[in-house]
Amino acid sequence: MNWTEETLRSTLAQPDFTSVYEQADVLRRERKGEEIQIRALLEFSNYCKRQCRYCGLNAKNARLTRFRLEPAEIVETALAAAETGYHTIVLQSGEDGWFTPEIIGEIVQAIKPSGMAVTLSCGEHPEEVYRYWKECGADRYLLKHETADPDLYRQLHPDAWLKDRVSCQKNLKRLGYETGGGFMVGLPGQTLDTLAQDLLLLREVGCDMAGIGPFLPNPDTSLGSYPHGSAEMTRRAVALARLLLPDANLPATTALGVLEPEAKRSVFSCGANVVMQKVTPNRVKRFYEIYPSELKDSDISSGRTQIEEEIRRLGRVPV
């Protein structure tokens, strides 16, 4: 299939999606096997200078309790995750100026001897900062574009521009990072044309990973009264992402699981092959609320055991 905006849009709209799901599942099996990769996710600061209208961490949300982990605790938690069997740690935060490029670089350098791959997800930065972190040992970077419609992007991000976001993604790719993009499904004002453009932008950037999740309204934001995105449309977008990017790593996003736990499980038969497991300390993880969710306390080891069991129940192999 020659995927264009028009063919993607009409495919997303078709009443019966069964054959597309099947194609995506076959392709996932060919390229990725039966393994589901489990990645440790450590949220280390919920301070953020940005004003993204869908996000509970935005700088204007005065109701949120803010936290910032000490660098020593970040390294300690990552090393504990490595001992539990994780091979990748994702270090995620808002855009928090307290964490200078040097501090983050030192954290990466302290984790790397464990043999873990380090993924950073800390927002937009100048190319020289991304280069420095790469030199410190960072392997991957997650930076979703959220929506490929420049006007909608501007409405949702009053202090940012889509072109800057995409420029950061392209810089990351050029610097040799495995680059993760992604977007939300069901944003207020989004159309099927936008979703088609979202998928094409993943391909244009050459994303090695793509996180696609439903929009979930956060009552503490200005979008709090809008309806959530559709789980079915999210699964459709994931399946099409597999067809467009056959070798990409596609996570079953946390947001999809919050919306519909069954949809999160079923997305593994629509092209997804990765899952993130939080290793954020229990005392702070409920404050990392981009959208509302019901988080249960768990330690690193029992959390991993639990997700491995869930993966085996799906007939897949946890890695």
Q: Pattern of binders to ligand SF4 over 81-120, x per CB under 6 A?
A: -------------xx-------------------------
CA-based R_g, the chain, Å? 18
129: exposed, middle or buried (C-beta count within 10 Å: 0-12, 13-18, 19+)?
A: middle
Tokens of 278: 């939080």
- Please name the residue that has the structure tokens 């420029």: 167
| Binding region for ligand SF4 (CB under 6 A) out of 51-59, 67-75, 148-156, 219-227 | 51-59
**In angstroms, what is the minimal distance from the CB of 58 to ligand SF4?**
4
Tokens representing 5 are: 């905006």
Binding-site string for ligand SF4 from residue 268 to residue 297, where x marks contact by CB under 6 A and - marks none? ----------------------x-------
* Environment class of 8 (CB within 10 Å of its CB; exposed 0-12, middle 13-18, buried 19+): buried
DSSP secondary structure of 223-260: TTTSPPPPHHHHHHHHHHHHHHSTT-B-B--HHHHHH-
Are 8 and 200 in contact by the 8 Å Cβ rule? The answer is: yes
Nearer to ligand SF4, 124 or 204 (CB): 124
* 195 is a contact residue toward ligand SF4 (CB under 6 A): no
Which of these ranges, 54-62, 75-83, 131-139, 185-193, lies near ligand SF4 under the rule CB under 6 A? Answer: 54-62
CB of 257 to ligand SF4, least distance (A): 19
Binding mask 56-75 for ligand SF4 (x = CB under 6 A): -xx-----------------
Residues forming the site for ligand SF4 (CB under 6 A): 48, 50, 52, 55, 57-58, 94-95, 123, 290
